[in-house]
Amino acid sequence: MSIDRKYIFDKVVFFLKKETKFFTSSELHMIIGVDAFRRVARDTGFPKSNYSSVMASGVWSVDMPSDFIKVDDTKDLVFKDGVGLHGLGHKKQKDIGRVNILTASPSSPYNFFMEDENTLGVYPPSTSGIVVVPYVKIPTSLSNDTATNEITERCYMAGVYWTVSECMLKDNDMRYQVYIGRYNKEVQELRGTYGELFDGDESIVPAEDYLRR
């Protein structure tokens, strides 16, 4: 059986026992179709994707793709230049120093940081090369009753619990604490399950075409 938006909606209504007084049926479908699975993806770290971007010498920032949620901290972020392949460690921008970021000479980067929610920076500014970013992406929106996405099959109960807890919180129903607890437990189990599923996955490296440059 396919786990689609309608199936998840029916589960949510079952737990709520009634139509929530703050959300119409169509609004509830929207929450399930977009917000719930964005939250699940952020908290579980799935689905995953990779983004490659060529950086010119002296450039220190790169815009992430439109479906970017966060850097996947279970894999290495790497930079390939004329010297070789370098892993970039995460560091807060304030710990590097804004002046250092803006004035450093181009070299092989060894740190990355988030300039804002959708812009990644490297330090020091890059020589010519390519940065490869493993990231957690926004799941495909559930735009109709029969729609599914990359994580509905495994993660639908997490989406159900999160949606129910949000509705109950809005309704000042103290049972929201029970459902957010169930959500957190589900997320922990999913992280373990997906982690085992992805064990042994190859390290992220630039595409072969770039390695030959």
| Residue 107 DSSP one-character state | B
pLDDT at residue 25, rounded to an integer: 87
Q: What is 75-91 written as a DSSP string?
A: S-EEEEESS-EEEEEE-
DSSP type of residue 201: P
Q: CA 43 to CA 61: how far, in whole Å?
A: 26
- Which residue type sits at 42? R
Report pLDDT digits (tens) over 108-158.
Answer: 999 999 999 999 999 999 889 999 999 999 999 999 999 999 999 999 999
Residue 85 backbone phi and psi in degrees, to 5 = -105, 125
Rounded Cα distance between 192 and 158, Å, is: 14
Question: pLDDT-derived band of residue 213, with 50, 70 and 90 as boundaries?
Answer: very low
C-alpha distances in angstroms, 49 versus 64, 84, 110, 134, 205? Answer: 12, 23, 22, 6, 13
Query: What band does 211 get if pLDDT is binned at 50, 70 and 90?
Result: very low
CB count within 10 Å of CB 167 equals: 24
Q: Per-residue confidence at 196, pLDDT binned at 50, 70, 90?
A: low
- Which of left, alpha, beta for 149 (phi over 0: left; psi -120 to 50: alpha)? beta
Looking at residue 2, its pLDDT comes to 82
| Dist CA 136 CA 143 (whole Å) | 21
* Segment 89-99, tens digit of pLDDT: 999 999 999 99
Nearest in space to 211 (alpha carbons), one of 124, 119, 129: 129
Tokens of 189: 């189990």
Q: How far apart are CA 160 and CA 145, in angstroms?
A: 15
